[in-house]
Amino acid sequence: MELIVLDHPLVTHKLTHLRDRETDSPTFRALVEELVTLLAYEATREVRVEPSTVQTPVAPYHGVQISKPRPLVVPILRAGLGMLEGMTRLMPNAEVGFVGMVRDEETLEPFTYAERLPKDLSGRQCYVLDPMLATGGSLGGCVNFLVDRGADHITCICLLAAPEGIEKFRRLVEDLKVPCTLVLAAVDEKLNENGYIVPGLGDAGDRLYGLAE
C-alpha cells in the first residue's frame, strides 16, 4: 500500500480550523470541501488518461482526457458525503457509488445499511471518500465490497487517521493483494478508549450534519 500524507501549511491551517470545537457546521462543511480539493489533486496523480487531440485557435494540440471506463467515486455515508462535492467538482465525469456504514459504538464494528455500487468494477479506478480512518473497520469493509466486484485499483482519501487504523488497513489490502493508495491530510496520535481519534475532530458526521439519534 502506498501512503501519502500531505505535508502542506495550507492543509494544516485548514485542518486546525476544522478541528476547533468552536467551528460551526456550515464552516466545517466548507473546510471539508476545500481540503478534499487539495487532497484530490494529489490522489488523482495516477488517474488513467488516453490521448485526445483538440484544435486550439492556432493549431492542433495533442493532449489527454480521462480514460473510459470512468473512475468511480464512493463516499462512505454519512460523513464521506461531505467530501463528494469537492471530489466531483475536480473530476466531473466520474461515476458515483454509495456505501452507508455506521460503527457500533460498543463493539466498534461497522454495520452496512446501504450499498449501491456497479456490479462489475473490473478495469475501474475507484476513489473512496471518508474523513475518518479510526480502527479501519469501515474503510476496510468498503474496500472489501469494491474488491468483491473486481476493482483492481483503489485510492482512499481521508482527512485524519490513527496509526492503529492505518496498520490494520495496510494488512487488509496486503491480504486482498489489491493495489491501493491511502491519501491523508494528517496522521494523528492514537485512538482513545472509545475508538475516537486523538486529538482528532470528534464525530465527523455529527459535525457535518448534526447529532445522529
Ligand X SMILES: O=c1cc[nH]c(=O)[nH]1
86 scored as a contact of Mg ion (CB under 5 A): no
Contacting ligand PRP within 81-120 (CB under 6 A):
101-103, 108, 110
- Tell which one of 18, 155, 205, 208 touches Mg ion (CB under 5 A): 205
How, if at all, do strands 98-103 and 110-116 pair?
A: antiparallel
- Interacting partner of 200 out of ligand PRP, ligand X, Mg ion, none (Cβ under 5 to 8 A depending on kind): ligand X
Asked if residues 94 and 124 have their Cβ atoms less than 8 Å apart, the reply is no
Q: Is 133 marked as a binding-site residue?
A: yes
Asked if residues 119 and 138 have their Cβ atoms less than 8 Å apart, the reply is no
Residue 194 CA to residue 131 CA, distance in Å, equals 18
List alpha helices for the chain, DSSP H: 9-19, 25-43, 84-90, 137-148, 163-176, 204-209
Asked if residues 88 and 39 have their Cβ atoms less than 8 Å apart, the reply is no
Residue (9 or 116) nearer to ligand PRP, CB = 116
Binding mask 118-147 for ligand PRP (x = CB under 6 A): ------------xxxxxxxxxx--------
Stretch that binds Mg ion, among 35-43, 107-115, 181-189, 200-208 (CB under 5 A): 200-208
Locus of grid cell 487517521: 161
Which residues are marked as active site?
A: 103, 107, 203, 206
Binding residues for ligand X, rule: CB under 6 A, are 79, 132, 134, 196-197, 200, 203-205
